[in-house]
Amino acid sequence: GAGVSQSPSNKVTEKGKDVELRCDPISGHTALYWYRQSLGQGLEFLIYFQGNSAPDKSGLPSDRFSAERTGGSVSTLTIQRTQQEDSAVYLCASSPSSGGAGPQHFGDGTRLSIL
């Protein structure tokens, strides 16, 4: 597609449920990033993919968070046993490569609300 696409755009779920968030990066972009933005805050790095591997998971806040990427394209971020503090906007970005070859382009995010 023309840009980074994320789905769903909004997700409301009960505390304790699992959620899956999806990201379709720009075609041909090998680097993919997940960030989290809490209300009124800047973006916080979660995880980075180069191809299908995740060499940097340092931003994942707990073991309830995991992510995978398949075919060097689509990525899913999974949050298990959601807690209210997980409520935030989850943003995905992609870039042509991690080697500085172009800046990161962001999707519009998934707004996650935990009741």
Which residues bind to other proteins, rule: CB under 8 A?
Answer: 4, 31, 33, 35, 40-45, 48, 50, 55-56, 59, 91, 93, 95, 98-100, 103-109
Nearer of residues 92 and 114 to other proteins, judged by Cβ: 92
Nearer of residues 3 and 16 to other proteins, judged by Cβ: 3
CA nearest neighbour of 109 among 58, 47, 38: 38
Q: At a CB cut-off of 8 Å and minimum separation 6, what does 33 contact?
A: 45, 46, 47, 48, 49, 92, 93, 94, 95, 104
User: CB of 72: closest distance to other proteins in angstroms?
Assistant: 16
